[in-house]
Chain A
């Protein structure tokens, strides 16, 4: 069974304090790794897809990277509006998406 583990569970940052979130995975035949953002009381919102080790994607202050066993979501100079729960998901050989429990990021002004 595919497994996704995210760390840390929670991250408190000062505005401008860069940091990274980790997503480690075990999957049979990785077809893709996905990052989503979820605001309180809302559904997850798609951010990135990564397909192969070494791939990187960027969007504003967020940068996602992928290795053979884990993915990192780097937040550079975060702002309070970056506060959210960030979810990692993997798609394995059976095409199902398996989500991690998420990292809740709080950015203080």
Chain B
């Protein structure tokens, strides 16, 4: 158990809909990262937050947005969903921004999104 909690574990929805994925980082970790994992793309970095502020952005679509709240939990919002958005979405946390870290991220078990 990494200590990172993600909900929901599974989500099935239709094209055009909007969903919210939630992540609670390990106790004391200030950084939260979101990754997308699909069969043909591997793990793709989406976005990183540190203590409530956005720190880095990867290949995150404009239809996707995220935020980190004062209690450090984070939410990833996916809107106008398309079939291609079906994937595993992972949240990871670390104590500091990755620039001050060993690169050791603690991953949750993921939220599996299926868009029909």
Chain B interface, number of residues (Cβ within 8 angstroms)? 24
- Asked if B45 is an interface residue, CB under 8 A from chain A, the answer is yes
Given contacts A95-B56, A98-B45, A99-B43, contact A44 B107 (CB under 8 A): yes
**Distance to closest chain A CB from B104 (angstroms):** 4
Chain A interface, number of residues (Cβ within 8 angstroms)? 22
Q: Which residue of A lies closest to B33 (CB)?
A: A97
Q: List, in ascending order, chain B residues with CB within 8 A of A32's CB.
A: 102-103
Q: In the complex, which of the residues A34, A43, A95 contacts B109, with contact meaning CB atoms closer than 8 Å?
A: A43
Q: List, in ascending order, chain B residues with CB within 8 A of A98's CB.
A: 45
- Asked if B92 is an interface residue, CB under 8 A from chain A, the answer is yes
- Asked if B95 is an interface residue, CB under 8 A from chain A, the answer is no
Chain B residues packing against A (C-beta within 8 Å):
2, 4, 33, 35, 42-45, 56, 58, 90, 92, 97-99, 102-110
